[in-house]
Structure 1
């Protein structure tokens, strides 16, 4: 689908390619969402640019993501998508500056685009040019990334309380409780990794965008790019800090699992030591030699039972006195 946005914030959707209309003269932004080949050819014909395909967007080389061709500036960034789900991912979005027009090509629906479209009417008229709109769009994308990072930090704090806080209350948990939390930690690690990749991609794009002449000649856009660049750097540092916290939480969870397993092994070890003396007594009187004086005693049986009980009780209280139980 192709949606064209004019300088007065009116939008024109092009759905019928049998008789596609021309873009209005005051179009400043052309948003292509999951375009077909016919739609790509239509935009190429009207704007005189080459529209990259979906395979082109997946290229990871910087030379394939940031370049100038036929007076058009091509930039590709990886944006976070499905951040509210358990399987966040990255989607590649192309930004093209063709003269005073901005063209975006995307095969997903990042929330940052919906937020930007909803606030488009609030952008001052002097910012409604291709380069200025791109700067504003990048600002919205970075703000959305910061929101996702803040959401991840809040969820990570709750997870940390579940791992450590409830233990002080000595609340009985299922045997696989911590193992389930490891899955949640892995999900947070995936989210932060995607955010860091996205921020790195945006940083490279903004550095390239800042150097093009149309930005250098616009002081307001230039200053906005500097602000966005500082925000990206700050978010990247904070994401690295959060990644360190996730690593700590992972190590701590594994340590707690080992402690619980060691406690179980400790119980079995102490139990085996406690019952070892009674076993020794029983084995002695179970040898059935012909000449064993105790076998002919009337109180031999209760005597052996008492001896076994005493031999078990003494190690038990000794372990209690040492604090091993």
Structure 2
């Protein structure tokens, strides 16, 4: 699908079934959403530029993601997609800046694009050009990333509260184990955010050094502000990642403590019942000459000896502080 956005904020869909079609001069942004090969060729003929394919967007070499060709700037950034679900992903988006238009190529629908389109109609028409749109789109992407980080911080706070909750409160046996899955999910999302921010940082550095941006003072300042926001978000994401690592270590430590407490109970029980077992074993032996067997009080005395041999180790352990 090809959406053409005009300088007044309106949008129209372009179709490649009209080879003689001429692009209006007031079209400032062409958005290719899941384009077919025919749609790629159609836009290439309209603008006399090459459109990167889906496989080309996946290239990780800087020379394949950030370059200039035939007067156009080609930039590929990785954006967080499906951040609100349990299966967050990164999607590669191409930003192509020509002399007067912006072209984007994407095979996913990041929320930042829908937010930007919703606010596009409020932009002043006289300042609506490809350079300004790109700067504001990157600003929207940074703002959306900040929202994702706010959600992550909230989830980390809730996880910390649940993990370090007072042990007096009754919790399911597998409570901490279930939190490990949540920690892994949040850690995965933060990892995607950090990768995205690193990609955006390189993109903004390349964009700010472009001559077309250097000549536009307003756009240059906006790009510098967005770059600073991305740097701040990267530092914040690193801090949150450290907190998540701490929660993971703390959860594993608490699980070990609980498991050790269970093993401790069994160990103490076995030690406490070892002396009674010894007494019972002695008086369970089938020897003919055992004086206690002929006593009238031999049986209750044996029971008393077994109980006493269990009580003495128990109180000894408590006195030593092992219980």
Task: Give the TM-score of the pair, scaled to structure 2.
Answer: 0.97
**Matched-pair contact (CA < 8 Å) for 2:65–2:76:** yes
Q: C-alpha distance in 2, partners of 1:9/1:172? A: 57
Q: Give the aligned partner of residue 221 of structure 2.
A: 223
**Matched-pair contact (CA < 8 Å) for 2:95–2:104:** yes
User: What is the correspondence of 1:193-204 to structure 2 with a 5 Å cutoff?
Assistant: 193-204=191-202
**Matched-pair contact (CA < 8 Å) for 2:74–2:95:** yes
Report the 3-state secondary structure (helix = DSSP H, G, I; strand = E; otherwise coil) of the residue aligned with 2:43: helix
Report the 3-state secondary structure (helix = DSSP H, G, I; strand = E; otherwise coil) of the residue aligned with 1:119: helix
Choose the corresponding residue for 2:211, options 185, 205, 213: 213
Q: Give the aligned partner of residue 324 of structure 1.
A: 322
Q: C-alpha distance in 2, partners of 1:173/1:231? A: 41
**Matched-pair contact (CA < 8 Å) for 2:9–2:123:** no
Choose the corresponding residue for 1:247, options 242, 245, 248: 245
Report the 3-state secondary structure (helix = DSSP H, G, I; strand = E; otherwise coil) of the residue aligned with 1:78: strand
Q: C-alpha distance in 1, partners of 2:52/2:294? A: 101
| Unaligned runs of at least 5 residues, structure 1 | none
Q: Give the aligned partner of residue 29 of structure 1.
A: 29
Q: C-alpha distance in 1, partners of 2:127/2:60? A: 31
Q: Give the aligned partner of residue 68 of structure 2.
A: 68
Q: Give the aligned partner of residue 90 of structure 1.
A: 90
**Matched-pair contact (CA < 8 Å) for 2:276–2:306:** yes
Q: Give the aligned partner of residue 43 of structure 2.
A: 43
Q: Give the aligned partner of residue 123 of structure 2.
A: 123
Of stretches 32-41 and 280-289 in structure 1, the one that deviates more from structure 2 is 280-289
Q: C-alpha distance in 1, partners of 2:147/2:66? A: 26
The runs of at least 4 consecutive aligned structure 1 residues that moved more than 6 Å come to none
The Cα shift of 1:125 comes to 2.9
Report the 3-state secondary structure (helix = DSSP H, G, I; strand = E; otherwise coil) of the residue aligned with 2:164: helix
Q: C-alpha distance in 2, partners of 1:18/1:124? A: 32
**Matched-pair contact (CA < 8 Å) for 2:9–2:122:** no
Q: Deviations over 1:283-307 (max 9, x none)?
A: 1112222211111111111111111
User: What is the correspondence of 1:1-325 to structure 2 with a 5 Å cutoff?
Assistant: 1-15=1-15, 17-19=16-18, 21-165=21-165, 167-168=166-167, 170-325=168-323
Q: C-alpha distance in 2, partners of 1:7/1:126? A: 8
The Cα shift of 1:187 comes to 0.3
| Unaligned runs of at least 5 residues, structure 2 | none
**Matched-pair contact (CA < 8 Å) for 1:127–1:133:** no
RMSD, matched Cα:
1.1
The Cα shift of 1:76 comes to 0.2
The Cα shift of 1:127 comes to 3.0
**Matched-pair contact (CA < 8 Å) for 1:178–1:253:** yes
Q: How many residues align?
A: 322
Report the 3-state secondary structure (helix = DSSP H, G, I; strand = E; otherwise coil) of the residue aligned with 1:100: coil
**Matched-pair contact (CA < 8 Å) for 1:210–1:225:** yes
Q: Deviations over 1:116-141 (max 9, x none)?
A: 00001222234311111100100000
Q: Deviations over 1:146-190 (max 9, x none)?
A: 01011111111111111112x25x122121111110000000100
Q: C-alpha distance in 1, partners of 2:170/2:146? A: 37
